[in-house]
Structure 1
Amino acid sequence: MEHEYALIGGMNRSQVGRYISLVAAAISAACVFVVLSLVDLAKTFGVNATIPPSLLSLLGAGAVFSALYWFFNRFAWRWAPVGKLLRVPDLSGCWECEGETLNPDGSTKQRWTGQITILQSWDKLRVHLRTTSSGSDSINAALISDPVQGYILLYHYKNQPRIGEADLRPHRGCAELAFAPDRLSASGEYFNGYGRDTFGRLQLKKAQ
């Protein structure tokens, strides 16, 4: 399931909500004004026009806010100018992953490949990794906008081995990914515990 994620270094979400509220109030007031003006105009021509209460409720600030927030959460925040203002990157999509499990001395213990799928909206996120032997899903996450290092994704995940993988156990771990400025690649590190004590490096490339 998608979950909320912390946003560090980007625009405060409550501030964004206030801006959307102001826009919603302005749009609602303008719509009500137009509707009432049309009713008055109709009456000058002898037309007995009335306004159903349900129509005014649809034009209320609350209803307009809900529509605007839905549009913003699903689409508007992804637009490049808006994302730049908010300092939030769109990381959603499929990523080819090359992993390297390390020994305590830093030498390579095992190489593996997988595919990472990132689902992201303005307020929710999910990171899913699928390999030939197991799958993992993020439990919580934080997205950091750093003026020096760029965008960094930190997340805590739960891993479940496929049926028949007798040598693997369910476990939990953490990963840190630093994304390139063009957001087409990323590199990072991971470590596991609570069932599997391993650590290593990750390389991601955006799937075409």
Structure 2
Amino acid sequence: MLNHEYALLGGVNRAFIGRYIGLAASIISGVIVFLVLSLIDLASTFGVAVNLPPTALSLVGAGVVFSILYMVFDKFVWRWSIAVKWLKVADLSGEWVCLGQTLKESGEVRYEWSAEVTICQTWDKIRVRLKTAQSGSNSIAAALMYDEAEGYRLLYNYRNDPRADQPELRSHVGCANILFDKSLMVGSGEYFNGHGRPTFGRMEFSRKGVAAAQG
């Protein structure tokens, strides 16, 4: 299962980030080309012949510089604390422990379950992988919303597939709505299943380090 794009709500528009990186790439590329040509001129004044093919300059063109800058931003820069505050995008990547409750129509607990959750996330892609003893699910679409009062809300749709030794379970799709506090250490919310397993309930997320300390 591949990571997929996710929508950002309440944060800095991704289009603006692309423009800023594009502007920085143009400036950096121009400076590099200027320095290279200046060095060639300097070498010529000392009688040193320098034969620089045009393809060499293309390696420092704005397109190449943009690709490098965007890759660095996508993998690392957006996670920096100062960047997170400006972008208003939560870094949820890592390992989580999930404690769930499946509820009856009356609101009473039908049964409890636990799962391990892995969230893979970059600036423009995410995947939520939840694994229980009986089945596993992967997100197929998601949105991350910044809430100034409460924290960050993750909404995602997923597909769940049971293990081969669980014939009584059926593949199904569902959605989850999880609110993470501003510390990004714990979260809580609800899930709703359909098309194969019409159930619903509550989920509590905590980062593995936090869960171990509480345990």
Which residue of 2 is the match for residue 167 of structure 1? Answer: 168
TM superposition shift of 1:89? 1.0
Q: What whole-Å deviation, never above 9, does each CA across 1:183-208 have from its counterpart, x for those lacking one?
A: 11110100100010100000011012
* SS in structure 2 of the partner of residue 105 of structure 1: coil
1:41 lines up with 2:38 in the alignment: no
* SS in structure 2 of the partner of residue 106 of structure 1: coil
Structure 2: stretches of 5+ with no match in the other structure: 210-215
* SS in structure 2 of the partner of residue 200 of structure 1: strand
Which residue of 2 is the match for residue 187 of structure 1? Answer: 188
Which residue of 2 is the match for residue 65 of structure 1? Answer: 66
* SS in structure 2 of the partner of residue 201 of structure 1: strand
Runs of 4+, deviation exceeding 4 Å: none
Which residue of 2 is the match for residue 82 of structure 1? Answer: 83
CA distance in 2, matches of 1:139, 1:149: 25
1:196 lines up with 2:197 in the alignment: yes
CA distance in 2, matches of 1:142, 1:161: 25
Mapped contact 2:150–2:181 kept (Cα < 8 A): no
* SS in structure 2 of the partner of residue 17 of structure 1: helix
RMSD of aligned Cα (Å): 0.7
1:30 lines up with 2:26 in the alignment: no
CA distance in 2, matches of 1:55, 1:79: 33
CA distance in 2, matches of 1:121, 1:174: 21
Structure 1: stretches of 5+ with no match in the other structure: none
Which residue of 2 is the match for residue 104 of structure 1? Answer: 105
Letter in 1 for 2:128: V
Which residue of 1 is the match for residue 53 of structure 2? Answer: 52
Which residue of 2 is the match for residue 205 of structure 1? Answer: 206
Q: What whole-Å deviation, never above 9, does each CA across 1:153-194 have from its counterpart, x for those lacking one?
A: 000000000112122110000001100111111101001000
Which residue of 2 is the match for residue 7 of structure 1? Answer: 8
CA distance in 1, matches of 2:33, 2:166: 63
Which residue of 2 is the match for residue 124 of structure 1? Answer: 125
User: Identity of aligned pairs, percent?
Assistant: 53
Which residue of 2 is the match for residue 91 of structure 1? Answer: 92
Q: What whole-Å deviation, never above 9, does each CA across 1:111-154 have from its counterpart, x for those lacking one?
A: 00011100000000000000000000001000001112210000
Which residue of 2 is the match for residue 147 of structure 1? Answer: 148
Which residue of 2 is the match for residue 135 of structure 1? Answer: 136
* SS in structure 2 of the partner of residue 111 of structure 1: strand
CA distance in 2, matches of 1:186, 1:76: 24
CA distance in 1, matches of 2:84, 2:51: 43
Which residue of 1 is the match for residue 213 of structure 2? Answer: none
* SS in structure 2 of the partner of residue 54 of structure 1: helix
